[in-house]
Amino acid sequence: MSGKHKGKLKVFLGYAAGVGKTYQMLLEAQRLQATGHDVVIGYFEPHARAETIALTTDLEFVPRATLTHRETAFEEMDTAAVIARKPKIAVVDEFAHTNVPGAEREKRWQDVVALLDAGIDVLTSVNVQHIESLNDQIWQVTGIQVRETVPDWVLQEADEVVMVDVTPRALIHRLERGVVYSHEKARLALENFFTEANLNALRELALRQTAHQLEERREEAAVSPTPASKTGERILLWLTPHPSTAMLIRRGRRVADYLACPCDAVLIDTDAPASEPWLNICANLRIHANAIPAAGNTHKAIADYARAQGISQLFVTRNAPDVSKLVSLARDMQITIVAERVRPA
């Protein structure tokens, strides 16, 4: 991951369950083993898909760890056992998975980072709806709020991202044949998440995500200028306790990524306790947030801070208090007032 870890990460990205991410990941594992590499399966979720399961028969499984939560047994990847086994490559399915309470790490992507730090290369799979900064767009498209997310920086630092693609019509046919889910579960899926309109929109997001990462790699392979020198832009987000702030952070991160410029955040210190969830999102998206004293004049404090930091674009939510005051105080900056997305009825 950009030289920061000993192991290399290869991500198989899809836009929905059933496009073939895990299948392609296991084909890659089989190819690597056939060429002499030491490959193990750290975690695999079969979903009763016979063709996919067949690709695991010649691969070594590291036994899972069993954890008990509320008197129920759960199986998770035994990360310590994979590290102790010391393979060259580990296959880890369902990158965005949340581990059961009591596990050493909260998220499976954190387990994967531990494997990479131990010098183990990892093949993993994830759908586009689990990318943190796309959370609001996914809700807008599908009406579903995805709870399990992977921070953008994790994917950005992957050594390779491969999009596994089929047309929405082909995926719907797979669902209708019972290849992806049981017939009853497939029927419910086709009536809800797996509508053709949803699938087309999700596929477009996945294609854009892959193209954006490819463009970033091309730029890195060139002269590799610093982000600030490429456009001269610097973005600052004003965090407030209002719920729309979560959407503001994700939007700011996406814009900053496309402009290849720095993105930071600021909040008034008295808002810090109520803004804890937003600070967690900032941390996941690698946005530095700084709390400053208002000194009796919130809008002047924000404008002065932005000016001192050389900010060119200031992003605020429509729900921020008295936005017009900030606009009048920061006329030397571009101010974007971000409205909440409302799904059409």
Q: What is the CATH number of the domain that holds 239?
A: 3.40.50.620
Q: What is the CB neighbour count within 10 angstroms for residue 11? A: 23
Same domain assignment for residues 80 and 185? yes
Instruction: Indicate the average pLDDT of the chain.
Output: 89
Residues 164, 12 contacting (CB under 8 angstroms):
yes
Question: Is 345 contained in some domain?
Answer: no
Same domain assignment for residues 262 and 142? no
Question: Is 3 contained in some domain?
Answer: no
Same domain assignment for residues 171 and 301? no
Query: Per-residue pLDDT tens for 131-166?
Result: 999 988 898 888 888 989 999 899 988 999 999 999
Please state whether beta strands 39-43 and 60-61 pair in parallel, antiparallel, or not at all (unpaired): parallel
Same domain assignment for residues 151 and 196? yes
Q: State the average pLDDT over residues 319-331.
A: 91
**The most confident of 87-101, 243-257, 331-345, by mean pLDDT:** 87-101
* Nearest residue to 17 (alpha-carbon basis) of 42, 49, 43: 49
Is the confidence at residue 232, as pLDDT, over 60?
Answer: yes
Q: Which of 48-52, 91-95, 229-233 has the lowest mean pLDDT?
A: 229-233
Whole-number pLDDT of residue 219: 61
Same domain assignment for residues 80 and 211? yes
Strand runs labelled E in 149-207:
160-163
How many angstroms separate the CA atoms of 256 and 336, rounded? Answer: 13
Q: State the average pLDDT over residues 23-52.
A: 94
Query: Per-residue pLDDT tens for 264-283?
Result: 999 999 999 999 999 999 99
Same domain assignment for residues 28 and 176? yes
Q: What percent of the chain has pLDDT over 70?
A: 92
Boundary (domain end) residue, out of 164, 193, 220? 220
Same domain assignment for residues 196 and 253? no
Q: State the average pLDDT over residues 57-69.
A: 95
Whole-number pLDDT of residue 329: 93
**The most confident of 68-77, 186-195, 223-232, by mean pLDDT:** 68-77
| DSSP characters over 294-317 | -TT-HHHHHHHHHHHTT-SEEEEE
Residue scoring higher pLDDT (261 or 214): 261
Same domain assignment for residues 255 and 170? no
Boundary (domain end) residue, out of 203, 220, 237? 220
Is the confidence at residue 224, as pLDDT, over 70?
Answer: no
Same domain assignment for residues 61 and 90? yes
Task: State how far Cα 111 lies from the chain centre.
Answer: 15
Question: Is 150 contained in some domain?
Answer: yes
> Domain containing 329: what range?
228-338
How many angstroms separate the CA atoms of 105 and 79, rounded? Answer: 10
Cα dist. 94→21, 37, 112, 118, 307 in Å?
10, 22, 11, 20, 43
How many angstroms separate the CA atoms of 322 and 332, rounded? Answer: 18
Q: State the average pLDDT over residues 326-335.
A: 92
Same domain assignment for residues 150 and 212? yes
Q: State the average pLDDT over residues 64-92.
A: 96
Q: Based on the structure, what is the number of domains in the chain?
A: 2
Adjacency order of strands within the sheet including 89-92: 60-61, 39-43, 89-92, 121-127, 9-14, 160-163
Is the confidence at residue 253, as pLDDT, over 80?
Answer: yes
* Nearest residue to 50 (alpha-carbon basis) of 180, 139, 142, 163: 180
Boundary (domain end) residue, out of 198, 220, 242? 220
Whole-number pLDDT of residue 181: 85
Same domain assignment for residues 82 and 214? yes
Domain with residue 129: its CATH number is 3.40.50.300
Question: Is 4 contained in some domain?
Answer: no
Query: Per-residue pLDDT tens for 11-32?
Result: 999 999 999 999 999 999 999 9
Report residue 70 as tokens: 């509320």
Is the confidence at residue 123, as pLDDT, over 80?
Answer: yes
Question: Is 182 contained in some domain?
Answer: yes
Is the confidence at residue 227, as pLDDT, over 70?
Answer: no
Whole-number pLDDT of residue 61: 98
Query: pTM here?
Result: 0.77
Question: Is 284 contained in some domain?
Answer: yes
Same domain assignment for residues 164 and 279? no
Question: Is 1 contained in some domain?
Answer: no
Question: Is 113 contained in some domain?
Answer: yes
Whole-number pLDDT of residue 156: 86
| DSSP characters over 212-229 | HHHHHHHHHHTT---HHH
